[in-house]
Amino acid sequence: MAAYGLYTHIASNKFRSMLLLAGLFVLVYVMVYAAALIAEVMIDSGRSADTYLAAAGRDLVKDFPLATGAAALWIVIAYFFHQSIVDAVTGGEDVTRQQQPRLYNLLENLCISRGIPMPKLKLIDSDALNAYATGLNRRQYAVTVTTGLLKALDDQEIEAVLGHELTHIRNGDVQLMVIAVIIAGAVGFFAELFFRSFTNFGWGYGRGRSWSSSSSSSDRDNRGSGGGAVIVIIIAAALIGLAWLLSQVVRLALSRSRELLADAGSVELTKNPDAMISALRKIENRGELPGATSAVMELCVDNPREGFADLFATHPSVDSRVRALVKFAGGHDPGPLALPSDMEPDDRPQPPAPGQGPSGPWGDANDSDGDAGGASRGPSQDASQEPAQGPWGRHVGPWGTSG
């Protein structure tokens, strides 16, 4: 699908995402086929590889409704409980207008100005600078921010971040990301389950019982059937590993372009590209949520976890996102921004110590006597015994003693 503007990019992205999600369902069936291969070897290790492959295909057809139902049940469970799971991981709690009037009013005003339904508002007690949106329908939509974000960003920057998350909701990104994470999590769970079962039971079973007993029958049978079982086990392990790897790649690919669209949507909502840019610069590399899983971090405004050579990074870099905003939205990049919390105590400006302040023509401005003319006195003079003197002192001039 060709894309020529923001809205067509959104539609094209949704179309590609749906195809990717359909691919994730295919991965579930691949996992079932791999499991059938392992099961056939467990049942009888004395057949050829072709026989195993054909038998596993029949098992897949027979178990297809069961696999589909299991995947659907997994999605239903996640549909109703995903928010509770995310909140348990991050510590997010619902807040009201009375508890957070500043944050609540910013979100409410932004929703009213654009006719967007008001999502729930949640807060995480963390110094990290980040935010994310969750939910699969209007009743579930929620925007979660950290207390660190509220302290570090001004109202315009917070509004830009809220606009970013509202764009994720409006564009349907949240639903697709949650579903992708759910299915990818299922694939990862079953992959680990199969590998653990195979390591703890299957490999020992095949090596200790079936293959040894078949080899005791005759060397010829061992060469023919045992080799087929080994080949099938290798194929099953490769399919499970490939399914897991592809599920991770698909899950990560869903988020990268969405962040650029959400940044653009925030500018469209707020009409303030500079606020979005400065918010990204402040959030940059400060968004790691303690205890959060990689799946939760993929929902956030920024995920500081980087992948190998940026291939598996879940978000575009802040530099690339800022460049896009500067190029297409006319914003100004201030460069990386330092926050007061980033400075070491020794690096923070300290007040001058007494006697070390700047000196003027009449001496030290911080003289302990509190006398601007104190520095003009000689070392043997005592302020308590001599009256205050002018800048020319009491020395003898060409016309006699002054003062």
For residue range 80-102, what is the model confidence (pLDDT) as tens digits?
A: 888 888 898 899 999 999 999 99
Quote the Cα angle for 350-351-354, to 5°: 130
* Structure token digits, residue 199: 């390591």
* Structure token digits, residue 41: 């070897």
pLDDT the model gives residue 297? 86
Reported as a single tens digit per residue, the pLDDT across 220-247 is: 444 444 578 889 989 988 998 888 888 7
Higher per-residue confidence, 362 vs 32: 32
- Domain-by-domain residue ranges, the chain? 6-91+173-329, 351-377
Q: Which of 58-72, 245-259, 358-372 has the lowest mean pLDDT?
A: 358-372
* Structure token digits, residue 301: 């405004």
The amino acid at residue 358 is: P
CA distance linking residue 97 with residue 120, whole number of Å: 11
Q: Which of 187-201, 286-300, 330-344 has the lowest mean pLDDT?
A: 187-201
Quote the Cα angle for 106-111-116, to 5°: 160
Is the pLDDT at 294 greater than 70? The verdict is yes
Percent over 70 (pLDDT), the chain: 67
Higher per-residue confidence, 248 vs 403: 248
Higher per-residue confidence, 394 vs 278: 278
- Tokens 């302040």 belong to 357
CA distance linking residue 159 with residue 156, whole number of Å: 5
Highest mean pLDDT among 28-42, 66-80, 163-177, 266-280: 266-280
Percent over 90 (pLDDT), the chain: 33
Task: Please state the rounded mean pLDDT for residues 200-217.
Answer: 46
Is the pLDDT at 251 greater than 80? The verdict is no
Active-site residue set: 165
CA distance linking residue 147 with residue 99, whole number of Å: 12
* Structure token digits, residue 1: 């699908």
* Structure token digits, residue 154: 């001004």
pLDDT confidence of 13, banded at 50, 70, 90?
low
pLDDT the model gives residue 83? 86
pLDDT confidence of 31, banded at 50, 70, 90?
confident
- Tokens 């390591």 belong to 199
Reported as a single tens digit per residue, the pLDDT across 307-366 is: 554 555 678 889 999 999 999 999 899 999 888 776 655 555 565 555 555 444 555 444
pLDDT the model gives residue 115? 87
Q: Which of 170-179, 224-233, 302-311 has the lowest mean pLDDT?
A: 302-311
pLDDT the model gives residue 28? 83
386: which DSSP letter? S
- 396 forms beta bridges with 401
pLDDT the model gives residue 199? 63
pLDDT the model gives residue 320? 93
Is the pLDDT at 163 greater than 50? The verdict is yes
